[in-house]
Amino acid sequence: MTMASRSENAREETGDGTVDTTEPESALETARRQLYHAANDLDIDPNIVERLKYPKKVHEVTVPIERDDGTVEVFTGYRAQHDSVRGPYKGGLRYHPDVTRDECVGLGMWMTWKCAVMDLPFGGAKGGVAVNPKELSAKEKERLTRRFAQELRDNIGPNQDIPAPDMGTDPQTMAWLMDAYSMQEGETTPGVVTGKPPVVGGSEGREEAPGRSVALITQLACEYYDQPLEDATVAVQGYGSVGANAARLLDEWGATIVAISDVNGAMYEPEGIETAAVPSHDEEPEAVTTYADTVISNDELLTLDVDVLIPAALGNVITEGNAEAIAADLVIEGANGPTTSAADSILAARGVAVIPDILANAGGVTVSYFEWLQDINRRAWSLERVNDELEAEMQAAWDAVQSEFEQRDGSWRDAAYIVALSRIAEAHEARGLWP
Ligand code: GLU
* Structure confidence at residue 435 (pLDDT): 85
**Fold of the domain built from segment(s) 209-360:** Rossmann fold (3.40.50)
* Rounded Cα–Cα distance for residues 42 and 107 (Å): 22
Which stretches of the chain drop beneath a pLDDT of 50? 1-22
Scanning 354-382, the segments in alpha helix (DSSP H) are: 357-360, 363-377
336 lines ligand 1 (CB under 6 A): yes
Q: Do you know the residue count of the chain?
A: 435
- In the chain, CATH 3.40.50.10860 covers 55-191
What is the atom index within ligand 1 of the atom nearest the CA of 365? 8
- In the chain, CATH 3.40.50.720 covers 209-360
309: enclosing H helix or E strand: strand 308-311
Contact 54, 41 (CB under 8 A): no
Distances (CA, A) of 282 to 242, 269, 278: 11, 22, 11
Sign of CA dihedral 303, 207, 155, 380: positive
* Rounded Cα–Cα distance for residues 371 and 120 (Å): 13
* Structure confidence at residue 41 (pLDDT): 77
* Structure confidence at residue 8 (pLDDT): 30
Residues labelled as active-site residues: 126
Choose the residue to mutate in 111, 194, 213 for probing ligand 1, maximizing ligand atoms within 8 Å of C-beta: 111
Cα of 361 from ligand 1 centre, angstroms? 9
pLDDT tens digits for 321-375?
999 999 999 999 999 999 999 999 999 999 999 999 999 999 999 999 999 999 9
Q: Which CATH superfamily is domain 55-191 in?
A: Leucine Dehydrogenase, chain A, domain 1 (3.40.50.10860)
CB atoms within 10 A of CB 150: 16
Cα of 245 from ligand 1 centre, angstroms? 16
- Edge-to-edge order in the sheet of strand 89-95: 57-66, 72-83, 124-129, 89-95, 161-165
Contact 202, 196 (CB under 8 A): yes
